[in-house]
């Protein structure tokens, strides 16, 4: 991770400025689709404007070297990166910062911090890159705790060992995506786990939130990449054995994957790697009918072709991102391999698309995934987090909802959910918004549709309006049969709907596990399950 400071209120580094022409282009889009003629712009907050509460706890002398109560550090660890978080930051609301921020340098430091917090009743929030969009890194507000600590793992950032024969590596959990790939590069291997937050998220964060990465099929989620791990808990260290696979009872790692720091602090993991691809082909396919495109994707998902990219984007979203004409949905379809040409797989996938009315550009370059409509959509996708603060500053609400549903229910789900999303924006803001959908990942039994809305809100009520829309849309998602999240985790924001989705008996079993691993319930209380009264 660079020594440059991150913004305490938004995405990116303090010295990163979105160019005026980019902002102007986005304003034109928002104006066109939301019917706005003039934007009132709220300036971003500055450190001088924020009054931070006094820290309620004092680290022991033995931990002072890795702890800080610096104002910037506390503010920078108050929120994640959702539009809801940014709207509170632009309101200058930093009423719940962590009391202390800790930067452990090794596992011993992590265990010592957990001992202190257990003994002094301090709630701990494990912190990676702060890219959570569901309230996952926000400190607890539970008044039963004496204070809160944000445990930032960014100094545990080394690739410790590489097993080239097995194509695996032992890696510390605080390493950021770009640094991980930089350290792996001399070996010729790659994790190839690229997600939108790649630049500002960590391996431990990916594991803790059960993130989904680059591949549209097969190795989609972090589960598929983890071989074993080490986790620091208030009850001691946990370490699993390293196997390609084991049938020896339930897999203990699955308890920690997706646990969001509620059971322990992931400190390192053995991860599966692969050789860097040398054969790549990508093409954009147009469909006049979104559902015909979905049918083509379903057949591809069940064909055994296993594309690396199979991203179906509806006509509006393609047009909004400069990748389409507004009349056609597009499918960004790509294959890659480190061993053999992929032309035959792409050719067969294109036959399937043609059978469903798709027309394709001719792939003519190995870098075709960076050119044309596919390249335009890719570039806008990567830049999207940088635009969020500028949208909030102008009262533009843009938020996403991702889920997973079986193929037999997809069409009805899509129609009902899209209508519910439009209605929620209209009801809350009093004016029409936008609603769009794309597939991020696909499986033989169903897609992972990812929905986006835009709405124009009241500058003075953005926080409340976000939550009114969030509640309506999340309830619709569960009501129509989707999961509350495919890859954004639960955090504090999704907890209400997770309680409806999970079996009650599992909640009781999870409570028992937490009581054993975290007897004082100091780790991310309120995520997944509430502390006992």
Q: Is 358 annotated as a binding residue?
A: no
Q: Is 130 annotated as a binding residue?
A: yes
Closest CA relative to residue 433, chosen from 397, 466, 458, 463: 397
Tell me how far CA of residue 99 lies from CA of 77, 183, 520, in angstroms: 10, 34, 19
Phi, psi of 29 (to 5 degrees): -65, -50
Tokens linked to 495: 């907890």
Q: Is 263 annotated as a binding residue?
A: yes
**Cα–Cα distance for residue pair 213/192, rounded to 1 Å:** 8
98 in Cβ contact with 73 (< 8 Å): no
Q: Is 131 annotated as a binding residue?
A: yes
Tokens linked to 27: 């304003």
Tokens linked to 32: 């066109």
Q: Is 188 annotated as a binding residue?
A: no
Q: Is 372 annotated as a binding residue?
A: no
Q: Is 113 annotated as a binding residue?
A: no
Cα of 145 vs its chain's centroid, Å: 28
Phi, psi of 351 (to 5 degrees): -65, -40
- The 10 Å CB-count burial string (b at 16+, else e) for 109-126 is bbbbbbebbbebebbbbb
Going 358 to 359 to 364 to 368, the CA torsion angle's sign is negative
Q: Is 36 annotated as a binding residue?
A: no
Q: Is 129 annotated as a binding residue?
A: yes
Q: Is 111 annotated as a binding residue?
A: no
Active-site residue set = 450
Q: Is 128 annotated as a binding residue?
A: yes
Q: Is 80 annotated as a binding residue?
A: no
Show Cβ contacts of residue 201 under 8 Å, excluding neighbours closer than 6 positions. 128, 129, 131, 176, 177, 195, 211
Q: Is 132 annotated as a binding residue?
A: yes
Q: Is 264 annotated as a binding residue?
A: yes
Q: Is 304 annotated as a binding residue?
A: no
Task: Show binding-site residues for FAD.
Answer: 126-132, 260-266
Q: Enumerate the known binding-site residues for substrate.
A: 388
Annotated binding site: 126-132, 260-266, 388
């Amino acid at each position: 991770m660079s020594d440059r400071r991150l913004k305490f209120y938004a995405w990116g580094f303090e010295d990163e400025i979105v160019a005026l022409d980019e902002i102007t282009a986005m304003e034109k889009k928002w104006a066109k689709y939301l019917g706005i003629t003039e934007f009132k712009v709220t300036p971003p907050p500055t450190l001088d404007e924020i009054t931070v509460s006094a820290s309620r706890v004092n680290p022991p002398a033995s931990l002072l070297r890795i702890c800080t109560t610096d104002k910037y550090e506390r503010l920078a660890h108050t929120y994640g990166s959702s539009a809801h978080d940014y709207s509170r930051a632009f309101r200058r609301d930093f009423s719940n910062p962590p009391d202390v921020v800790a930067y452990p340098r090794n596992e011993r430091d992590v265990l010592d911090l957990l001992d202190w917090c257990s003994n002094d009743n301090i709630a701990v929030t494990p912190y990676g890159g702060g890219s959570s969009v569901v309230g996952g890194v926000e400190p607890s507000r539970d008044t039963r705790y004496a204070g809160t600590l944000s445990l930032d793992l960014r100094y545990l950032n080394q690739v410790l060992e590489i097993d080239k024969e097995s194509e695996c590596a032992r890696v510390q959990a605080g390493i950021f995506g770009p640094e991980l790939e930089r350290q792996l590069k001399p070996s010729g291997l790659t994790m190839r786990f690229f997600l939108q937050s790649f630049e500002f998220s960590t391996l431990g964060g990916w594991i803790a939130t059960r993130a989904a990465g680059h591949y549209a099929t097969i190795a989609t989620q972090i589960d598929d990449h983890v071989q074993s791990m080490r986790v620091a808990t208030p009850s001691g260290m946990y370490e699993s054995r390293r196997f390609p696979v084991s049938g020896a009872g339930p897999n203990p790692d699955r308890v920690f994957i997706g646990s969001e720091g509620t059971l322990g602090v992931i400190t390192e993991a053995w991860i599966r790697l692969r050789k860097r691809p040398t054969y790549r082909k990508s093409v954009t396919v147009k469909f006049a009918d979104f559902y015909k495109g979905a049918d083509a994707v379903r057949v591809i998902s069940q064909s055994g072709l296993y594309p690396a990219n199979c991203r179906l984007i509806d006509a509006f979203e393609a047009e909004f991102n400069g990748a389409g004409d507004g009349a056609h949905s597009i499918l960004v379809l790509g294959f890659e391999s480190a061993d053999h040409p992929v032309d035959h797989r792409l050719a067969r996938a294109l036959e399937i698309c043609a059978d469903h009315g798709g027309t394709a550009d001719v792939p003519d370059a190995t870098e075709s995934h960076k050119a044309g409509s596919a390249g335009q959509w890719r570039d806008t996708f990567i830049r999207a987090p940088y635009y969020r603060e500028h949208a909030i500053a102008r009262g533009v609400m843009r938020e996403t909802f991702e889920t997973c549903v079986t193929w037999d229910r997809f069409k009805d789900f899509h129609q009902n959910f899209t209508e519910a999303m439009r209605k929620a924006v209209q009801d809350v803001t009093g004016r029409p918004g936008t609603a769009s959908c794309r597939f991020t990942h696909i499986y033989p039994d169903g897609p992972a549709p990812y929905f986006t809305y835009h709405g124009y809100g009241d500058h003075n009520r953005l926080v409340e309006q976000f939550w009114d829309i969030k509640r309506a849309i999340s309830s619709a998602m569960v009501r129509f049969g989707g999961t509350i999240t495919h890859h954004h985790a639960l955090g504090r924001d999704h907890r209400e709907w997770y309680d409806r989705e999970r079996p009650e008996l599992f909640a009781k079993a999870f409570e028992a596990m937490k009581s054993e691993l975290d007897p004082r319930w100091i780790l991310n209380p309120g995520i997944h399950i509430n502390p006992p009264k």
